[in-house]
Structure 1
Amino acid sequence: MMELRWLEAFVAVAEELHFGRAAERLHMAQSPLSQVIRKLEKNVGSPLFKRSTRTVELTAPGQALLPYAYRILRSLNNAMDAARSAEGVPTGRFTLGFSGMHNHDTLPRITRALRENFPGVDLNLVGGIRTFDGMRQVRNEDLDASFLGIIGDVGTPLRAREISRHHLGVVVPTDHPLAHRDAIPIHQLRGESFVMGPVDGNSSMTVAALQICHAAGFQPEIAQAVSDPFLIVSMVAAGVGITILPSEVLPILPEAATWIELEGDPVPFSHGVVWSDDNESEPLQAFLTILDSIFPEPTLQ
């Protein structure tokens, strides 16, 4: 019969891809760890790792087992948390992803309230999370929830909750020829140099900016692609190029950058939280309770 400690050992080796580091992480010697893995492989009936003198790699059976091992270990942790929370005080670890620019207001409010109202929840914050990376990590249970930009249906088993709804505009350096304008049509940005996030499909903000440029009949000329959203507005202020961002950035714009409205109907951009229906942990339910109490359903700003 398979033992829980075998799965813990398997996950450690799968994540470290090194028996020595995995043994150190588990506070055991390398030889007993190798014996545990061999027992697990005998029980499964297939090798789980390809071993050489220099590398350790997951085999196809190992790759197939890993998500189920995560799920079993997570279910055990959830069960333990539920038992500790039986008296009405949720406990356990809660891992929340966020992106700095979008969360300059929301993150402090919700984390402070979570700590004040549910001190038994161990909050772990993971920064630099872009939309589709966040969705993938929530789906894979690497994150319990993540703040992100919302574009379209997130797909089962994920659930999304809108927090804020803003509209897109243009950010330019204060010495740019367009800086004195109150509003401009999007097609007037043709030929401008842009600063954007990486064009890899991971950022909902970059996807939205590209969509409105394409709808206006042009492909933006990207002078610089950077993943840090704060660096985007800093580079605009430095004169590297212009960018398209939601109006939520207005409070944090550098002095050398200015905001210009887009002519026509406002182009909305929603920011929210995503989590998985498969996650039944007490800390997640505590987080969702706080979310509903602090952030009502938004209107366009």
Structure 2
Amino acid sequence: MLLMLREIHCFTRVADRLSFSAAAADLGMSQPAMSQAITRLERATGVKLFDRTAREVRLTAEGKALLPYAEQMLESARAFTAEAARLSRPSIHLAYPPLVGTLAARIVRRLAGRNPPIGVELTVAGRGAAAQALTDGQVSAAILATPAPAQFVTAARFHVTVDHLAVPAGHRLASAQKAAAADLTGQVLLTPGTRPWTGLPGRSRMVADDDFAAALDLVAAGAGLLPIPQLLVRAIRRDDVRFVPLDAGDLRITYALAWSKDRVTPELMALVQAVQDALWTR
């Protein structure tokens, strides 16, 4: 039997309404056209779907058994259509670190609001993984902590202020109202990224791939202290770590949108503009 979606749709509407005329009205059809659709489906399946009298319409036992499958087929057809529409839209893949997830969401909304809309596939990735994905062509662009690798083009730079210090719950600074740079002398400072914290005393310990979550686990284990942006402080709740305001001057992380100069598309340029607009209006 060839797929008969229109007839199957008619079947589910009649089954729901138990009325050929009401089902026909729902679908903008005449009653004779509805009856003909059900007849075609019954002939194709070799199964009687309804018992019909002048006063009522009832599903047969066979009709009741087939109804869930009919509804499933229609749902699958709708999902197919929606996914095909999504795949037919221009799209772009963006890698970003968790720290700037709010910005990534704004970028997606901006591009979705264009005419025609541009779909964005988001991938959470640290600096190393994102740079490798860019190199391999797995993503169209990535938001990277600077300096980005020299082979990439960058634009739309922005800064994230680092104004708190994560310390273990039992540390001497855990109850402090504020920590100053001098308080960090002799301390191990965890550094998620590629460069030590500028202007801070203490000994740097690098944490691979700008992974603040992994760095916080090290803080809880007593392996060091972590300068951290308030953006993350607001989102994290841990009993084994305390967040103390940090007065350390103009401490910040700089990010930029990066892409390969060999893979420039109109969608990529629209992404660059969306990032710039999102930064300008935040």
Matched ranges for 1:97-176 at <5 A: 97-100=95-98, 102-117=99-114, 121-130=118-127, 132-135=128-131, 137-138=133-134, 141-151=137-147, 155=150, 157-167=152-162, 169-176=164-171
Equivalents in 1 of 2:233, 2:205: separation in Å? 24
Find the counterpart in structure 2 of residue 287 from structure 1.
271
SS in 1 for 2:101: coil
Is this contact kept in 1: 2:129–2:209, CA < 8 A? Answer: no
Matched ranges for 1:152-301 at <5 A: 155=150, 157-167=152-162, 169-193=164-188, 195-197=190-192, 203-204=193-194, 207-209=195-197, 211-213=198-200, 216=201, 218-220=202-204, 228-237=211-220, 241-256=224-239, 257-296=241-280
Spell out, residue by residue over 1:46-77, the C-alpha distance to the aligned partner (whole angstroms, 9 max, x if none): xxxxxxxxxxxxxxxxxxxxxxxxxxxxxxxx
Equivalents in 2 of 1:123, 1:291: separation in Å? 12
Show structure 1 runs of 5+ residues with no match. 1-89, 198-202
Assess, with a 3 A threshold, how the Cα gap between structure 1 residues 97 and 177 changes in structure 2: closer, same or farther. same
SS in 2 for 1:96: strand
Show structure 2 runs of 5+ residues with no match. 1-87
Larger Cα-atom Rg? 2
Aligned length: 194
RMSD between aligned alpha carbons?
3.5
Using structure 2 for the length normalisation, give the TM-score. 0.54
Is this contact kept in 1: 2:181–2:248, CA < 8 A? Answer: no
The structure, 1 or 2, with the larger RCO (C-alpha pairs under 8 Å, 6+ apart) is 1
Using structure 1 for the length normalisation, give the TM-score. 0.51
Find the counterpart in structure 2 of residue 84 from structure 1.
none
Assess, with a 3 A threshold, how the Cα gap between structure 1 residues 140 and 226 changes in structure 2: closer, same or farther. closer
Find the counterpart in structure 1 of residue 92 from structure 2.
94
Spell out, residue by residue over 1:170-212, the C-alpha distance to the aligned partner (whole angstroms, 9 max, x if none): 2113432112324334353344455554xxxxx24xx243x54
Is this contact kept in 1: 2:152–2:258, CA < 8 A? Answer: no
Equivalents in 1 of 2:110, 2:281: separation in Å? 18
